[in-house]
Amino acid sequence: MEYRIEHDSMGEIEVRADRYWGAQTQRSFGNFKIGTEKIPMEIIVAFSYLKEAAALANFRLGKLDEKRMKLISTVCEEIRAHKLDDNFPLAVWQTGSGTQSNMNVNEVIANRGNELAGEKLLHPNDSCNMSQSSNDTFPTAMHIAAVCEIEDKLIPSIDLLVGTFKELEAKYKGIVKSGRTHLQDAVPISFSQEISGWRSSLERDRELILRTIEPLAELALGGTAVGTGLNAPAGFDTESAKAVSELTGKTFVTAANKYHALTSKDELVFAHGALKALAADMMKIANDIRWLASGPRDGLGEITIPANEPGSSIMPGKVNPTQCESVTMVAVQVIANDTAVGMAASQGNFELNVFMPVMIYNFLQSVRLLGDSLRSFNDNCCVGIVPNREKMHENLHNSLMLVTALNPYIGYENAAKTAKYAYNENISLKEACVKLGFLTAERFDEVFHPEEMAKED
């Protein structure tokens, strides 16, 4: 392998000749060989937006010439086109400010830009980091990445599954089944009503997640090292936020208080809480579906779901609810990530939080996992849900909780006696009610209509 010599304020160091990174990236790459977790590519893409936006702002404010601004813009476009992915090798487990990743991007932009120009026009610090600090760029990249991934990846996945549930509601309207509370038989519910609960949960989660966008859209850029804006020209913060908005097509604004923006990460904690709410609902929905599909003969068996792959290496013909299991494992991971995000956010000592890489790694993993799992769950499971009408009817009419319909006619206590007698004698509610003398057989038939108990619109 061929190497070239790069240098920084600490001296010279060898760098792979086929990579655009420089000395500071190389030192971090050598000093933090920890784990396999790398700075997410979503953060690198976010950096490309903010670096181009900073160059545009510096140009508009008269600090950077047009030629250098355009070079920076060109390389940032290449980064977003994923032409330079191999140039961002750094571990999550690096400096807590993300300084080394900021410099990684600066060095790649500078070296690639100089290659394109055929002369040395860009300097990693003086050109690519102009009017910036790692302390305001990394939190800015975090917010840009969070907003883009939520809006572009997660929300469409939620909408996809919501749409499927709406279709299932309409398709299976009118099918009445036994409800269940505490894992025990309860009064009737229609299958479409049950599905509507799943759908409504996702719609509420979507609403809550979107409420987090406005605070996430506030950017720290312009605060520089400690929030004072040292070495940044007047108006750089608002001009750079405007440029980020232009480049992303989304609305970003400069943070009102840069001291807060650098040290507090409450916006990400708030947003991840909404992600955790979605994970909790997905756990519930996936569990409902696999319980309803349990069997095929010795479980509830009220629905069937697609048989995607063999379920056992020893039991022939066995099929398992694998998509449900995948969703529930994702939910566990997201809920665990929430602890990491919250703990990391609590470590904002004085003027800077120094747990930012681990925080955004977990945050973006949650968004990515939820988006992917929702889509997989939709495509490989939910679209293929089919009710077992016969089993639903059988379970409904076998439920002792249908006795609730008799409360207005024989009273709560007599209804309870009827249910207990039917259970102990293994007879129907009608037989029990008649034997106990609470209603005649004819009167029972007049008032007992299980399908009407669901009160479906």
pLDDT, tens digit, 9 for 90 and up, residues 356-366: 999 999 999 99
Q: How far is CA 234 from CA 230, 244, 288, 456, in A?
A: 10, 17, 56, 62
The structure's pTM equals: 0.96
Q: With CA atoms as reference, report the closest residue to 43 among 278, 426, 359.
A: 359
CB contact set of 145 (below 8 Å; sequence gap of 6+): 40, 42, 43, 45, 46, 360, 364
Average confidence (pLDDT) over 172-196? 97
Report the pLDDT value the prediction gives residue 456, as an integer from 0 to 100: 83
Q: Is the pLDDT of residue 5 over 90?
A: yes
pLDDT of residue 239: 98
Model confidence at 285, pLDDT cuts 50, 70, 90, reads very high
Give domain limits for the chain: 3-130, 136-172+181-389, 399-454
Handedness of CA 222, 226, 231, 234 (dihedral sign): positive
Q: Quickly state the pLDDT bin for 73 (edges 50, 70, 90).
A: very high
Q: How far apart are CA 107 and CA 125, in angstroms?
A: 8
Pairing of strands 218-219, 184-190: unpaired
The pLDDT, as a whole number, for residue 297 is 92
Query: Would you state the CATH architecture of domain 3-130?
Result: Orthogonal Bundle (1.10)
Q: How far apart are CA 456 and CA 452, in angstroms?
A: 8
408 alpha-carbon distance from chain centroid: 47
Low-confidence winner among 116-120, 201-205, 312-316, 436-440 (lowest mean pLDDT): 312-316
Check pLDDT > 90 for residue 277: yes
> Around Cβ 126, how many Cβ atoms within 10 Å?
12
Q: Which residue has the tokens 């003086």?
A: 126
In contact, 226 and 351? CB cutoff 8 Å? yes
Report yes or no: 135 and 352 within 8 Å, Cβ to Cβ.
Answer: yes
pLDDT at 457 over 80: no
Q: Which tokens hold the place of 292? A: 């309803």
State how far the Cα of 250 lies from the Cα of 31, in Å rounded to an integer.
Answer: 37
CATH of range 136-172+181-389; options 1.20.200.10, 3.40.50.300, 3.40.395.10, 2.60.40.10: 1.20.200.10
What would the two tokens of residue 105 be? 């991007």
- Integer Cα distance of 179 and 453 in angstroms: 11
pLDDT tens by residue, 79-117: 999 999 999 999 999 999 999 999 999 999 999 999 999
Residue 54 pLDDT > 80:
yes
- Dist. CA 160–CA 150, nearest whole Å: 14
Mean pLDDT across the chain, nearest whole number? 97
The first and second tokens of residue 391, run together, are 């089993």
What percentage of the chain reaches a pLDDT higher than 90?
97
Q: 384 and 306 in contact (C-beta within 8 Å)?
A: yes
pLDDT in tens, 239-266: 999 999 999 999 999 999 999 999 999 9
Predicted local confidence at residue 278, as pLDDT: 98
Three-state SS annotation for the chain: CCEEEEEECCEEEEEECCCCCCHHHHHHHHHCCCCCCECCHHHHHHHHHHHHHHHHHHHHCCCCCHHHHHHHHHHHHHHHCCCCHHHCCCECCCCCCCHHHHHHHHHHHHHHHHHHHCCCCCCCCCCCCCCCCHHHHHHHHHHHHHHHHHHHHHHHHHHHHHHHHHHHHHHCCCCEEEEEECCEEEEEEEHHHHHHHHHHHHHHHHHHHHHCHHHHCEECCCCCCCCCCCCCCCCHHHHHHHHHHHHHCCCCEECCCHHHHHHCCHHHHHHHHHHHHHHHHHHHHHHHHHHHCCCCCCCCCCEECCCCCCCCCCCCCCCCCHHHHHHHHHHHHHHHHHHHHHHHHCCEECCEECCHHHHHHHHHHHHHHHHHHHHHHHHHCHHHCEECHHHHHHHHHHCHHHHHHHHHHHCHHHHHHHHHHHHHHCCCHHHHHHHCCCCCHHHHHHHCCHHHHHCCC
Rounded mean pLDDT, 64-82: 98
Q: Does the structure show a pLDDT above 80 at 210?
A: yes
pLDDT at 56 over 80: yes
Which residues are known to be catalytic? 182, 312
pLDDT of residue 23: 97
Contact 108, 63 (CB under 8 A): no
Mean pLDDT of 56-67: 98
**Smallest Cα–Cα separation from 176: which of 457, 452, 370, 363?**
452
The whole-number pLDDT of residue 144 equals 99
User: Would you state the pLDDT for residue 348?
Assistant: 87
Average pLDDT over residues 431-436: 97
151 has pLDDT over 80: yes
CATH of 399-454, one of 3.90.1150.10, 1.10.40.30, 3.30.1360.70, 3.90.1570.10: 1.10.40.30
